[in-house]
Structure 1
Amino acid sequence: MGVKGLQSFMERCCPQACVTVNLREMARRHAANSQQGFTTTADTISPTLVVDGMACLRHWYSCRDWVCGGQWKEYIDVLKSWVEVFTSAGIRLVFFFDGVVEEQKRPEWVKRRRRVNGEVSKMFGYIKEHGEQPGRELFCLPSGLATFTPFALRSMGQQVFCTVREADYEIASYARQHGSMGILGQDSDFIIYDSAPYLSVAKLRINSLTTVMYDRQRLCQTIGLPVTQLPLLACLLGNDVVSEEQMQHIRNIAMATYRKNQPAPHSAAPQGQVVLAVSQLVSSLWNREEEEPGLVPQSLNLSAPDTEVLQKGIRSYVLPGQKGLELGEDISAPPSASAFETYVSSEILKACREKHIAAEGFMVYNVVCAGVTECSNTLEDEEDAELLPQALVYKPCRQQIYGLLLLLGHDGSTVDLPAIREWFVFPGNPLREPDMVQPVPVSLPCDRPSLDLLWFSTGPEVSALRLTAFLSIFECLKLSELHGVIDDSLLAALCLVTYIVLQVQTLSQEDVDAYLSQAVCLRLKSPEELQQIELPLLSSRAVQLGSLYVRGLSHLLGANTASGCPLPSAALMPWHSFDGRLFHSKYLLAHSGTETTKLLDSDQSCLSLFLQLRVKLTEICRKRGRILPSRPNAPQQRPKTTRHRHTGWSPGGGEAWRGRRDEAGGHRHERGWRERGDERRNQSEYENRKQSQPPKQSSGRSYNNRGRYQLAPSWSLPPAPGT
């Protein structure tokens, strides 16, 4: 969010502070100045650009498809090319990604998530109405992009940090301490920090390496403030710490005074006039002799709570080593210990923190050190009542991840163990408070080991135990037979699809065939071939299934980290087992009754591997009482689209999308998630999940005790399409 209206004010009313710069030239000047100085460290000599990774995601993901789950191989190529441009210019990149959501910013986080939910709802409405991807005005990042991008950059040899506190603060701190040439991002808070120059990623022209630098010195000259007063200005205008509403009365006073003293007000837009008015107010306050630098002026006549929050906001801009704003709190100090840290050893805590900061782990740091975890928006259709939200699909495995982390470190009793606070976004969740989720013990076929043994010990027995723990979390222990027989990425894909089938009773044989066939065929396709796939239309259901899979990969990553990493992290990355357009094409093929041979691109090796995976999945499901029905559901091709030239998709008969509700054996749509409101909290079958239940009872939970989600009937397994 940054500072309300400040950046637009600079662009519209203070153009002299928006300077077009050439990053190559900046790098040369920075290197020359560093060599002439007294410091000789590598960081100061090498021109380093600190990159706000979260702000860059929308600019990095330039792939044509975004609703189908992500074109991950193409995305990796885009990232490589982007990095190479800077490397060839002699610029070293250091990336930062958000690793925590600080509680003081939770309300703003919730506000943004609700807004994006509305955009996702419009996106699905468009897809169902037109059968195609909407324009960029409804663009949403593919689910999981922020999770997997740090791993992608690390695989390219880049230095990546995942933050343990507010990301803007850590970025500004690093840039200041290491003498970086600039900060590349899109957040006006970087104008306020006394750190490296703030460079706009939105204005970046990658071919010429030019962008706009927002010059804080020129800004201050224009509005008549010293730079030391920028933090107070930012807080009075409104930022992530001090909301607009809290200081609205101060801005009203400033505007009244401004209009009184300016018979002919500045021609700026209303928000620009607010910036000028508040700047004049701040300047008048600090010109009084009784005011001390760094304190909230008493003449503002704020209440004690407002004074406290304003001081907190000002403090948030004070970087380590800076003088002049000592307000009694060391913001650079690490977060205090939580109750959850008592359940693990100091060695585990240290390893969790190190993995988190180095972007090598996922989920475990926040669980162990703070007892909280969150997940942003996912592409989910609130009107599709037959598919569970991913937050509920993966809740049982998360409970076991929590159990593995916290219960292996003490006596195994859950009586006194506090619940994990989950902030997971999905349609119908008002996000007024977190869901309190209890850890569940992992059923291991051996004596309960310690978490330290699982993480730090070596030897074949420990390696086998790690794999057992990982597969047990997803109730797929039988898949250990395939470890070393098939690629790790395919083992992970099979584990994930099997888990989804066990949890989501409405999945059909055709859905499974789409998942597995695309995972098998992806290995043989180049990014260029994947880009050439043309889809005759889009299925809103396939869009949601694609996002469900990618979110599942992040849960595999969390379980792998918690289990001591039995699989290499690279095997769990989406570019090794998923492509959105490929999956969508396989979904349409499978549901149109295409022969299995054609589904596997008429490649005998792919067909053989596909059948091997499907047999193993079917075997596990049968033992759990889960029999997959065949329910082909071919959509009607839109007249304006062309025939699929790469997969041979041919539309079958059947009802059009909007008229298929009553189709026999089809997928029904009932009341949407928002209409059901808080009924989502009736989740006792998840929260009271017990490992002691017989396998048949514990397979595939239904959602909502009031009967809107029922278990699928026990079907006989028919022949798969084309076999």
Structure 2
Amino acid sequence: MGVRGLQGFVGSTCPHICTVVNFKELAEHHRNKHPGCTPTIVVDAMCCLRYWYTPESWICGGQWREYFSALRDFVKTFTAVGIKLIFFFDGTVEQGKRDEWVKRRLKNNREISRIFHYIKSHKEQPGRNMFFVPSGLAIFTRFALKTLGQETLCSLQEADYEVASYGLQNNCLGILGEDTDYLIYDTCPYFSIGDLCLESLNTVMLCREKLCESLDISLADLPLLACLLGNDIIPEGMFESFRYKCLSSYTSVKENFDKKGNIILAVADHISKVLRLHQGEKKLEEMLPLGPNKALFYKGVASYLLPGQISPWFFQKPKGLITLDKQVVSMNSDPEYEQEVPMCTDPESKQGLPLGADPEFELEAPMCTDPAVKQQDLMNMEPEVKQVTMVSDPEILKVARAQHVQAESYLVYNIMSSGEIECSNTLEDALDQALPSQAFVYRPVRQRVYSLLLGDGRDGTSTCPTVKEWFVYSGNPLRHPDLVRPLQMNIPGGTPNLKLLWLNQEPGIQGRRLDALLGCFDLSSSREELQAVENPFKALCCLLIYLFVQVDTLCLEDLHAFIAQVLCLQGKSTVQLADLQLDYIDPRAVQLASLLVRGLTTLVLVNSACGFPWRMSDFMPWNVFDGKLFHQKYLQAEKGYTVEALVEQNRSRLTKFHTLKSVVCKACVKENRRIISRQLWRSHQPGNRQYEPDHWRRYSSSSG
């Protein structure tokens, strides 16, 4: 993340850029300087997930009660000293950063392979050096923070841009995160989450002004430096030869500095001594070896310019124009939907712009600065270009956008605005082909959601839409997205439209919403049985039925473990869960836990798309799932423990156990799926049941 080599440079070569500060003292100073203004810190939540996840166990699917408790302590500590927190989450992956996203996902795949190799060799959790965040952590953190009463926002474009922009425009105390891009943006002060001591509220402030002094450049030069060094937009190799040319002519190479440190000093020296000589006289491309990468380079520099900011390194276009390669979009200034975006966007890049058919969705943008488009060319272009969205109804798009920004939904707006979604890595064993990837297990559900949100093209009024899925699974090189088509839904009374589901408040509509939700899981026939189940077990039962119908390698012992853990969880404190010890770690149980948690995130998507027929709290993991507890129940079920032992000899739980098991088994029988014991299964099928790698691609025929 951020600028290549800059983090190490700051730590080793320029440590004076880092200053230890205390948030309580900073807040008091801020209140004195700005009476009546609450000191506010903008938090880049994606940078903080590792810091927040303090539970010792992470391999079993997440210790969600412990995690929720840690988040509550974090919020309380800042609230106690009068500091307000605003949390931003990434809401999209911009096209220009897709390559970087893919590179990280493939790297994570290699790390996950090493994790499973370690588990199989040692039967225990690897050390923190191999730590991998539990599946769904980012999604559920949003809802945890909202539950804790915090203002939580989801970005319409790259989150770091929105964080920096918010911090600047709202006179914030600072930004809390771990991304060297915050040293490049000309915004409020940047504080390190990695160096934060919660007890004392001390952390490190990284000062961009001191960085500029050390490098003998100005604040306005930092975006240029970042792109010449390489960042998430500019590949590291693009200017490699240029950097070494700077290094060879740099006269102040210090032997005690590392190579990367010297390169940063050399490039900064070239900016201050060579490029600045001709600034204003020559275009930047005449002074740099940009070649065919000119447009990408300017896009990279411009991406750091916040609303109202300009760069001295290239000329400015008339106000109110944003370039989309060879197109120019005229923007209005409706303050209700004002969303500042970086300049010089790529036509393929959605940049989170919800430009629909309604002029309300035209967004104001800073001036464009792409010198590749000459001034006279502007006169010959179309005055207005609108981004094509997957949904043409502006009212529905407006609701989806608002829910996305307020972090109340998951993936719905991305599907409707750009027809493109992604899902990061999951703890899945690439060598265990008896269990399918969650990407395939839940694909039919997503396909029915696409049908609900976009239509399935069967009414003859529109062509069948296709959604681009960037989902990580074994064997997927992620060179291209999977093109996935909607699946027709089977809902009693037909598929309801979104205006009915989202906007209609008449009595009885909640029943239609529930019909739509069950239709997404293709479980309409089990409506009555599921309705009889009490909360919070209803959502989990729905998920278990779906899972056991889809995955025929799941057995009765697995079902017993899933049900026993949710029942026992209700009676355990956070401390009891933290103290729970496991005999050993089983790789299959690790993957099953990930499969269930990804199912809970899928429930968030479906519930959002259907107009919230169920309370989100009913499938938040801290209410229905604990990784270690599930692992314990899984190991006990494998050893042949009785149901009484699994529910810890609790009579009330035993009754509920048989009720929930009956609901799941009866629903599965309706789908011609009989759940049998692994012992019985083994007696009929010697050896492990294996599948060809493509066995779980059975939905490929409907994926386009």
Q: What aligned pairs does 1:327-476 form with structure 2 within 5 A after superposition?
A: 327-328=316-317, 330=322, 332=341, 335=353, 337=355, 341=389, 343-407=391-455, 412-413=459-460, 416-476=463-523
Answer whether contact 1:399 1:439 (CA < 8 A) is retained.
Answer: yes
Q: CA deviation at 1:484?
A: 5.7
Matched, 1:296 2:284: yes
Q: What is the letter of the counterpart of residue 78 of structure 2?
A: F
Answer whether contact 2:242 2:289 (CA < 8 A) is retained.
Answer: no
Partners of 2:667 and 2:555 lie apart in 1 by 15
Partners of 1:246 and 1:489 lie apart in 2 by 53
Alignment CA distance shift 1:468-1:307 (3 Å): same
Matched, 1:91 2:83: yes
Q: What's 1:688 paired with?
A: 702
Q: What is the letter of the counterpart of residue 283 of structure 1?
A: S
Q: Secondary structure at the match of 1:19?
A: strand
Q: What's 1:151 paired with?
A: 143
Q: Secondary structure at the match of 2:194?
A: coil
Q: CA deviation at 1:411?
A: 6.7
Q: Secondary structure at the match of 1:421?
A: strand
Q: Secondary structure at the match of 1:280?
A: helix
Matched, 1:312 2:321: no
Q: Secondary structure at the match of 1:65?
A: coil
Alignment CA distance shift 1:341-1:310 (3 Å): closer
Q: Per-residue CA shift, 1:132-160, capped at 9, x if unaligned?
A: 10101111000010111000000000000
Answer whether contact 2:175 2:190 (CA < 8 A) is retained.
Answer: yes
Answer whether contact 1:593 1:632 (CA < 8 A) is retained.
Answer: no
Q: CA deviation at 1:444?
A: 1.0
Q: What aligned pairs does 1:60-209 form with structure 2 within 5 A after superposition?
A: 60-209=52-201
Alignment CA distance shift 1:667-1:390 (3 Å): farther
Q: What's 2:672 paired with?
A: 625
- The counterpart of 2:610, out of the listed 549, 563, 566, is 563
Q: What's 2:261 paired with?
A: 272
Q: Secondary structure at the match of 2:284?
A: coil
Q: CA deviation at 1:684?
A: 4.9
CA RMSD of aligned residues (A): 2.3
Q: What's 1:587 paired with?
A: 634
Answer whether contact 1:535 1:585 (CA < 8 A) is retained.
Answer: yes
Q: What is the letter of the counterpart of residue 203 of structure 2?
A: T
Q: What aligned pairs does 1:582-661 form with structure 2 within 5 A after superposition?
A: 582-632=629-679
Q: What's 2:43 paired with?
A: 51
Q: How many residues align?
A: 643
Partners of 1:670 and 1:327 lie apart in 2 by 62
Q: What is the letter of the counterpart of residue 419 of structure 1?
A: T
Partners of 1:108 and 1:182 lie apart in 2 by 27
Answer whether contact 1:98 1:162 (CA < 8 A) is retained.
Answer: yes
Q: Per-residue CA shift, 1:651-671, capped at 9, x if unaligned?
A: xxxxxxxxxxx9975772759
Partners of 1:292 and 1:439 lie apart in 2 by 55
Alignment CA distance shift 1:290-1:619 (3 Å): closer
Alignment CA distance shift 1:391-1:149 (3 Å): same
Q: What is the letter of the counterpart of residue 69 of structure 1?
A: G
Q: CA deviation at 1:516?
A: 1.2
Q: CA deviation at 1:485?
A: 3.9
Q: CA deviation at 1:337?
A: 3.9
Q: Per-residue CA shift, 1:294-320, capped at 9, x if unaligned?
A: x635222421x2222111111000001
Q: Per-residue CA shift, 1:89-145, capped at 9, x if unaligned?
A: 111100011110001000000000010111111111111111110101111000010
Q: CA deviation at 1:461?
A: 2.2
Q: Secondary structure at the match of 1:460?
A: coil
Q: What is the letter of the counterpart of residue 393 of structure 1?
A: V
Partners of 1:173 and 1:667 lie apart in 2 by 59
Partners of 2:194 and 2:264 lie apart in 1 by 22
Q: What is the letter of the counterpart of residue 179 of structure 1?
A: N
Q: Per-residue CA shift, 1:470-511, capped at 9, x if unaligned?
A: 012112224432566433321000000110001101000100
Alignment CA distance shift 1:474-1:108 (3 Å): same
Matched, 1:250 2:250: no
Answer whether contact 2:563 2:660 (CA < 8 A) is retained.
Answer: yes
Partners of 1:511 and 1:26 lie apart in 2 by 52
Q: Secondary structure at the match of 2:678?
A: coil
Partners of 2:487 and 2:114 lie apart in 1 by 37
Q: Secondary structure at the match of 2:21?
A: strand
Matched, 1:502 2:549: yes
Q: Per-residue CA shift, 1:554-589, capped at 9, x if unaligned?
A: 111101111111001111211111100110111111
- The counterpart of 2:211, out of the listed 209, 214, 219, is 219
Instruction: Name segments (4+ residues, structure 1) moved above 6 Å.
Output: none
Q: Secondary structure at the match of 1:488?
A: coil
Q: What's 2:4 paired with?
A: 4
Q: What's 1:668 paired with?
A: 688
Answer whether contact 1:5 1:272 (CA < 8 A) is retained.
Answer: yes
Q: Per-residue CA shift, 1:176-210, capped at 9, x if unaligned?
A: 00000110000000000000111001111111111
- TM-score w.r.t. the length of structure 1 is 0.85
Alignment CA distance shift 1:380-1:14 (3 Å): same
Alignment CA distance shift 1:169-1:591 (3 Å): same
Partners of 2:461 and 2:563 lie apart in 1 by 37
Q: Per-residue CA shift, 1:27-68, capped at 9, x if unaligned?
A: 111111112xxxx6xxxx111011110110001101011010
Q: Secondary structure at the match of 1:168?
A: helix
Q: What's 1:713 paired with?
A: none
Q: What is the letter of the counterpart of residue 170 of structure 1?
A: E
Q: Secondary structure at the match of 1:204?
A: coil
Partners of 2:388 and 2:559 lie apart in 1 by 38
Answer whether contact 2:19 2:206 (CA < 8 A) is retained.
Answer: yes
Alignment CA distance shift 1:3-1:376 (3 Å): same
Answer whether contact 1:285 1:291 (CA < 8 A) is retained.
Answer: no
Alignment CA distance shift 1:483-1:593 (3 Å): closer
- The counterpart of 1:281, out of the listed 270, 274, 277, is 270
Q: What's 1:659 paired with?
A: none
Answer whether contact 2:490 2:519 (CA < 8 A) is retained.
Answer: yes
Answer whether contact 1:631 1:665 (CA < 8 A) is retained.
Answer: no
Partners of 1:554 and 1:184 lie apart in 2 by 27
Q: Per-residue CA shift, 1:520-557, capped at 9, x if unaligned?
A: 22111111111122110111000000000000001111
Q: What's 1:14 paired with?
A: 14
Q: CA deviation at 1:413?
A: 4.6
Partners of 1:615 and 1:127 lie apart in 2 by 34
- The counterpart of 1:241, out of the listed 233, 251, 271, is 233
Partners of 2:316 and 2:679 lie apart in 1 by 66
Q: CA deviation at 1:628?
A: 1.0
Q: What's 2:27 paired with?
A: 27
Q: What is the letter of the counterpart of residue 282 of structure 1?
A: I
Partners of 2:90 and 2:526 lie apart in 1 by 34
Q: Secondary structure at the match of 1:50?
A: strand
Where structure 1 has 5 or more consecutive residues not aligned to the other structure, the ranges are 635-661, 691-723
Partners of 2:207 and 2:686 lie apart in 1 by 59
Partners of 1:344 and 1:516 lie apart in 2 by 43
- TM-score w.r.t. the length of structure 2 is 0.88
Answer whether contact 1:343 1:407 (CA < 8 A) is retained.
Answer: no
Q: Per-residue CA shift, 1:694-723, capped at 9, x if unaligned?
A: xxxxxxxxxxxxxxxxxxxxxxxxxxxxxx
Answer whether contact 1:51 1:183 (CA < 8 A) is retained.
Answer: yes
